[in-house]
Amino acid sequence: MKLRRRWIRTLLLIFGFALAIYVVLDSLAFKVPIFGFHSIFDRRTPDELPSRAPYLDYAVQDLETVLTTLIRGDYWFLDSNDFHDYFLTRSRTIPPARIGQKPVMLTFDDGYENVRAYVLPLLEKFERQYDIKIPIVLFLNPAFFDKNNPKRPQKYLTCEGVREGLTAGFYDVQSAGFQHVNLTQLNERDIEFDIAEARQKLQECVRGLDHSEDVARHFAYPYNRVNGSIERLVKQYHESAYRYDDRMQMLGWTQRPYRISRLGIQRNDSPQRLLRLARRASTLPKSF
């Protein structure tokens, strides 16, 4: 009995020590909340522009509440290249005007037409009202771009819709593979084709536009499925990759540029929850 109690005491001490180390590391790490949305809907017309997964739909009214609060709180809205260059590789120096701000990123998966219909006008409204241009990262599947394909689902963006948002300066266009398939179910040859074809088609879509060189630099794993073979192939075509693990992206200790953390947002997530997560972002110090 005494030996058992001793073992329990030892295990509790080890657990407490490990927890203390985690708390210290967590407090030292620089945190960036990266929000992952999918489809957007309007509560006034909830049946228009439906998605394939209603539980992932988010109300544009709630999104407006969140963004208005973040704008008034002077948050820094990052695109994927800002995050990569300023925070991940530090190949660019943080602008002095950003010191004291908290960074956040907004990403949208699957390329739904309702993002163009509801989010783009909202971003344009904020630009007029607050003189701020908020970028949103779109992880797209260009197999759905061709509006002349009779089998194409109408709920997805066309290439013209992508070019519209990029020309306006709001869209950051990145890849989620060509056809939105579970890459873990493909052989290596088909995986590489899906990754490479997506990058090529995205770049063809935006050819001739400003900042087209920043398109398809980064990747999001379709269905959030990834293994070592997929990651190795993604590295050949992209500079970083994103996954959902419902964690803050932490910088300052172990970093995995091809497993960047995102916070998955669902229909029932209140604006207050998103704002609580945003407030956990680290404030940029003078000596970052």
Distance (Å, whole) CA 222 – CA 230: 11
pLDDT of residue 186: 97
Distance (Å, whole) CA 288 – CA 285: 6
Q: Which domain holds residue 267?
A: 33-279
Contacts 24+ apart (CB under 8 A), 248-251: 248/31, 248/32, 248/33, 248/277, 248/280, 248/281, 249/31, 249/32, 249/33, 249/34, 250/26, 250/29, 250/30, 250/31, 251/29, 251/30, 251/31, 251/32, 251/87, 251/88
Q: Is the pLDDT of residue 116 over 60?
A: yes
Least-confidence region, from 43-52, 92-101, 139-148, 234-243: 43-52
Q: What is the CATH number of the domain that holds 124?
A: 3.20.20.370
Mean pLDDT (whole number) for 12-26: 49
Both tokens of 251, joined, read 């910088």
Q: Mean pLDDT, the chain, as a whole number?
A: 92
pLDDT of residue 53: 85
pLDDT of residue 113: 96
pLDDT digits (tens, 9 = 90+) for 197-255: 999 999 999 999 999 999 999 999 999 999 999 999 999 999 999 999 999 999 976 67
pLDDT of residue 252: 78
Residue 98 CA, distance from chain mean position: 21
Contacts of 121 (CB under 8 A, 6+ apart): none
pLDDT category, 178, cuts 50, 70, 90?
Answer: very high
Same domain, 157 and 22: no
Burial 170-198 (b: 16+ CB within 10 A, else e): bbbbbbbbbebbebeebeeeebbebbebb
pLDDT of residue 287: 76
pLDDT digits (tens, 9 = 90+) for 73-82: 999 999 999 9
Distance (Å, whole) CA 250 – CA 230: 23
143 occurs within a structural domain: yes
Give the C-alpha distances (Å, rounded to integers) separating 195 from 166, 175, 177, 224, 275.
22, 8, 5, 15, 34
Contacts of 42 (CB under 8 A, 6+ apart): 48, 59, 60, 61, 118
Mean pLDDT (whole number) for 42-63: 90
Same domain, 24 and 103: no
Both tokens of 36, joined, read 């992952």
pLDDT of residue 68: 99
pLDDT of residue 19: 42
Q: Is the pLDDT of residue 84 over 70?
A: yes
Number of domains in the chain: 2
Look at 147 and 223; give whichever has higher pLDDT: 223
Look at 18 and 180; give whichever has higher pLDDT: 180
Q: Is the pLDDT of residue 187 over 90?
A: yes
286 occurs within a structural domain: no
Same domain, 173 and 249: yes
| Furthest-apart CA atoms within the chain: distance in Å | 77
284 occurs within a structural domain: no
